[in-house]
Amino acid sequence: MRLTLLSLLVIIALSAKAQVAIDSALDFTVKDVHGGQHHLYGYLDAGNYVVIDFFTTNCGPCQTYASEVSASYEYFGCNGSNVVYMGINWGNDNTGVMLFDSLWGAHYPAVSGLQGGGNNVVESYQVQSYPSVILIAPDRSILNNHIWPPLRDTINANVLEAGGFPQACTVSTNHPEENPGLQIYAVQSNHEQLQLILRGHAQSGLMQVYAADGRFISEFRTSVSTSVYPAASLKPGVYIARLLEDGRIQKSCKFVVR
């Protein structure tokens, strides 16, 4: 029994240190959710360190730590210094990843699994769990294959020790496509209905509802300031509502169904 427990502890310790099962970076070229192309060896050959956040959209810790990785990304100049950040998703499409980014505060370039090539990268890097945040040196060695916990200060300490240079971020990390004069509020009056309330100069358009993991739930046209949504059709959890006008996102909000 003692030997079995010891073996289990060793396995846990090893898995906590090695969530990416390779020691040297494999090359890849991927496209982020906004169409930008990212060539790993191109970044490394230019003398950059690369931080990769391997994540899934329905992973609780991924949601928790996304804003921490984003804060580290901003500390090192939003890919303007000698450190390049990117998120590599497994299993979702561009829409799902963009919703994840918006909901959980991830501002670094993100690559979806299905449309951006993320699934192939995850498989080639033999990612064992999520999130797995890794640090790659310009010589293509993986300096840390599991920065844990992936908090801003922990990531920063690893990157600084490796040779990363802090720099002011000159890139906007907001969502300029959204209408700053519009607000969406979600009020659940009872277990049967949910009110999505629009406040601002835009009170019409296509309202869409998604689950926190990016799954599409439903959509409907609205031309009034308050829309009643059938909350009984939603399981308890976190959701996001967004209003589109002429195909452009006007505003989005997060709400919880209990």
Q: Could you tell me the residue ranges of all domains in the chain?
A: 18-162, 183-257
The helix (run of H) or strand (run of E) holding residue 231 is none
For domain 18-162, which architecture applies? 3-Layer(aba) Sandwich (3.40)
- Asked if residue 72 lies in contact with residue 106, where contact means CB atoms within 8 angstroms, the answer is no
**Cα dihedral 54, 34, 73, 38 sign:** positive
Other C-beta atoms lying within 10 Å of the C-beta of residue 114: 16
**The CATH classification of domain 183-257, taken from the options 2.60.40.10, 3.40.50.9100, 3.30.2290.10, 3.30.70.270:** 2.60.40.10
pLDDT at 3: 44
pLDDT at 177: 56
How far is 40 from 137, CA to CA, in rounded Å?
Answer: 11
Q: Residue 233: which pLDDT band, with cuts at 50, 70 and 90?
A: confident
Q: Is the predicted pLDDT of residue 174 greater than 70, yes or no?
A: no
Q: Is the predicted pLDDT of residue 200 greater than 90, yes or no?
A: no
Amino acid at 60: G
Q: Which of 108-122, 176-190, 193-207 has the highest mean pLDDT?
A: 108-122
How far is 108 from 127, CA to CA, in rounded Å?
Answer: 20
Residue 149: is the preceding peptide bond cis (ω within 30°)? yes
Which residues are 243's β-sheet partners? 207, 251
Q: Which of 155-169, 187-201, 225-239 has the highest mean pLDDT?
A: 155-169
Higher pLDDT, 246 or 176: 246
Considering the entire predicted model, what is its pTM?
0.75
